[in-house]
Structure formats: C-alpha cells, structure tokens
C-alpha cells in the first residue's frame, strides 16, 4: 500500500490483502488518508483478496466522502475485487457505478 503525495491528487493504493484478516489495517489507512486529503483517490488495482468487509469499507468510504462533500474516487478495480462485487450481488456496471464513485478511465 502506498500514499503518493507527489501526484496532483493524493492517491492511496490498496494492499493486495483487503480481506477480513487485514481489513483493520486497511481501514486505518483509509481513515488516515481521509483525514489528510481534501480529495482522495483510491487505487484498487492491487487488490488480490477481497470479501464482504472490503466491499463494506469501500461503500462506507464513498458514503462518508459524499456526506462531507469531499470527493472520493475509486480507480482500477482489480478482477478479484470485481468478482467479489459480483458475488455480493453488484452484478451490473450500473449498480457498481451507483455505489462506488469511479474514475471512468481507471475502470
């Protein structure tokens, strides 16, 4: 996982393991990043292990950003994350769009 402050927008790359075994660390990382940046971009390209907790954390992050007027953008969903989303019932792109604010070129 890495925070990259040199880029114009702060981006956070999620670690490979975002399953329940590591979700607390990911949660702390997102909260820390959320506290620092006005705009947050979360790179999901490295996510290799995901489950219900990963989905919930991303949903909560998106919801919090929206409520606080601080845009959160998710980019580059990995295939593993996509599979998990589909298994959880986020079967269509429209559904994913509705719940997870994505940067389209990153999809």
Length of the chain: 107
CA distances to 5, 6, 31, 56 from 59, rounded to whole Å, are 24, 27, 13, 5
Q: How far apart are CA 10 and CA 81, in angstroms?
A: 22
53 versus 75: smaller Cβ distance to another protein: 53
The site string for another protein over 47-66 (x = CB under 8 A, - otherwise) reads ----xxx-xxx-xxx-xx--
Q: Does 75 bind another protein (CB under 8 A)?
A: no
Q: Does 83 bind another protein (CB under 8 A)?
A: yes
Crossing angle, helix 52-68 and helix 23-36, to 10 degrees?
A: 10
Q: Does 2 bind another protein (CB under 8 A)?
A: no
Quick one: CA dihedral 24, 78, 82, 74, positive or negative?
positive
The site string for another protein over 14-43 (x = CB under 8 A, - otherwise) reads ------xx-xx-xx--xx--x---------
37 versus 61: smaller Cβ distance to another protein: 61
Beta strands across the sheet bearing 2-4? 2-4, 11-13, 40-43, 72-75
Residues that bind another protein (CB under 8 A): 20-21, 23-24, 26-27, 30-31, 34, 51-53, 55-57, 59-61, 63-64, 67, 79, 83-84, 86-95, 98-99
């Amino acid at each position: 996982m890495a925070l990259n402050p040199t880029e114009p927008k702060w981006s956070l790359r999620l670690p490979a393991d975002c399953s329940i075994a590591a979700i607390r660390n990911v949660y702390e990382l997102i909260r820390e990043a959320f506290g620092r940046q006005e705009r947050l971009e979360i790179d999901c390209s490295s996510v290799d292990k995901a489950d219900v907790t990963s989905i919930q954390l991303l949903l909560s992050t998106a919801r919090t950003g929206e409520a606080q007027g601080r845009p959160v953008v998710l980019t580059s969903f990995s295939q593993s994350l996509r599979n998990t989303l589909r298994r959880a019932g986020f079967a269509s792109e429209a559904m994913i769009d509705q719940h997870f604010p994505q940067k389209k070129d990153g999809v």
